[in-house]
Amino acid sequence: MCCLLAVLVFLGPRAALAFWWLVDTARFNRTFDNFLLPLLGFLFLPFTTLVWVLVWNPRTGVGGIEWLFVLLALLIDLSSYGGSAYSNRSRISGRAA
């Protein structure tokens, strides 16, 4: 399953999250208390949500070096939004190209 999950991550983090949720719903139920937070993560911060589910431990939660992975995933998500905004700046009317 790990290799299939890696292939799905290259297709997109939302595909990997959807497949992982379908295969292992219990892990998502243990990681998140309700359905709203993973849904918002799926829509707005998919890499961060994927890494959070990956590194979350039922005994300790997220701690230590795992926070670094969550922070890197957050930076990837934010840079994708910033990169798309920067590349679409010429589409704004009234802006000189």
For residues 74 and 48, is the Cβ–Cβ distance under 8 A?
yes
Dist. CA 17–CA 2, nearest whole Å: 13
More confident of the two residues 3 and 69: 69
| Rounded Cα–Cα distance for residues 62 and 12 (Å) | 23
What is the pTM assigned to this prediction?
Answer: 0.76
pLDDT on residue 6: 73
What pLDDT sits at residue 14? 87
Q: In the prediction, which pLDDT does 97 show?
A: 54
User: pLDDT by residue (tens digit) across 28-87?
Assistant: 889 988 889 989 999 999 999 999 998 998 888 888 899 999 999 999 998 887 766 666
Q: What is the dihedral of CA 64, 9, 41, 75, to 10 degrees?
A: 60
> Between helices 36-44 and 46-55, what is the axis angle to 10°?
130
